[in-house]
Structure 1
Amino acid sequence: MVPPSASRSARRPRERRPPKPLDKARLNELALAYLARFATSAAKLEAYLRRKLRERGWEGEGEPPVSALVERCVEAGYVDDAAYAHSKAGSLRRRGYGERRVDQSLGAAGIGADLREEVRGTASEARQAALALARKRRLGPFGPPPADRQAREKQIAILLRAGHRLDIARQVVEADTVAGLEVWAEEVD
């Protein structure tokens, strides 16, 4: 009997067959499988399908109907940019990201400027997001007091990189108590 380690080394690596080129039916299946797994925007779905076409090629007649397929998915309600934008913006805010980072993320997903403006949060939501990040990263009153000016500036920089405005970042870092910061975050403008 041949030891298992010897038999593995004696085997040749399996050669992978190249994937079949796409046709209309396969492209449709690919789109539906992607939509079943991910919430997405129309632009992201189109980019995904175009990438798959570059990787696998096109076997069908004429040009691949990517735009028409995406449009059918939008009309059928499988893709809803407004719902995606609201969901993604809320998720990012709960994780502690500021409006600038939310706007960048939605822009990268192909959401138009008018829809990004529509989902822009209120001032209270921006403060709540900063509070969530401060709590998670132990900034301001949630952690030990900054030892010096440089430590305070590092905490402010963390909030700025997360997309928060400078005035919000300073307010969070310079707050004396958690209770005071929570009251500030709840204020309605």
Structure 2
Amino acid sequence: MAGMIERATQGATTRDAMTGGGRVAGPVPDRASLRAAALAHLARFGTTRAGLAQVLERSVQRWARRAAEAGAPADDVAARVGPLGRAIAQVVDEMVALGAVDDAAFAGSRARSLTRTGRSRRAVQAHLAARGVEAELVGSVLDETLGARGQEGAEMELGAALVFARRRRAGPFAPPGADDDGAVRRRKVLEAMARAGFGRATAEAALDMDPAEAEDRIIRMKTT
């Protein structure tokens, strides 16, 4: 790998990308700098394999943009950047081997936290897919974390719907004297819950629940 980087960066020092006769684009990325960037990111954020790869790719793209803006020939920039895809993959694999990146653990933690803030199972699934978690893994993690789509899963979904309703001050959480049972108000809340990914039966059950039971269910859901 070191030989590939050296050949790709021929005409540049190992510290600086030489463009236009001056040190203007900063150090040429290599595996060591990409590893340092990965560790710095992981020290602050949880992420997936795909997410970490995107972070490192953006780092390389920023260097390439600076080099191009400084006047470096496009072919020269491409020659330096080309081999870095392999280096990025190796750094990501290393972080996985170290246990610093774990897609299943990330998905489980994120699924629990999102559900407890009122996100539907469908919304959680979309969020994890957008973070690069594979569909098969998303399905198994949701079943394990939130329960299968039977009774246990339905209970978690209802709890999330109640949190959503509480944020909207709707149903059992409507302020005293509010016309929460009005047809227009109810329709708007149901439409909002549908957009958030909740099924009609779940949404109606949440809105029709007794306030004391609703609070109790939220507490049980958040401590599960």
Contact 2:125 2:138 in 1 (8 A): yes
Give yes or no for contact 2:117–2:163 (8 Å, CA) kept in 1: yes
> Quick one: which of 115, 131, 134 aligns to 1:112?
134
Identify unmatched segments of 5+ residues in structure 2.
Answer: 1-23, 65-76, 147-152
* Letter paired with 2:94: R
Partner of 1:169: 203
Highest RCO, 1 vs 2 (Cα 8 Å, sep ≥ 6): 1
Equivalence for 1:151 = 185
Partner of 2:173: 142
Q: CA RMSD in A?
A: 2.4
Q: Shift of the alpha carbon at 1:40?
A: 0.6
2:114, 2:124 within 8 Å by CA — same for their partners in 1?
Answer: yes
List runs of 5+ in structure 1 lacking aligned partners. 1-16
2: CA distance between counterparts of 1:127 and 1:148? 22
CA distance in 2, matches of 1:61, 1:162: 41
1:82-97 correspondence runs (5 A): 82-97=104-119
Deviation at 1:45, TM superposition (A): 0.3
User: How far apart are residue 19 of structure 1 and its match?
Assistant: 4.3
Task: State the identity as a percent.
Answer: 34
Residue range with higher mean Cα deviation, 34-43 or 153-162: 153-162
Shift of 1:158: 2.1
- Amino acid across the alignment from 2:187: E
- Among 75, 90, 94, the alignment partner of 1:72 is 94
TM-score, normalised to structure 2's length? 0.68
How far apart, CA to CA, are the structure 2 residues paired with 1:30 and 1:60? 18
Deviation (angstroms), 1:86: 0.4
Counting matched residue pairs gives: 170
Deviations 1:76-103 (A, max 9, x none): 1010111100000001001000001000
2:157 is aligned with 1:126 = yes
Q: Distance in 2 between matches of 1:96 and 1:161?
A: 13
> Does residue 26 of structure 1 match 2:33?
yes
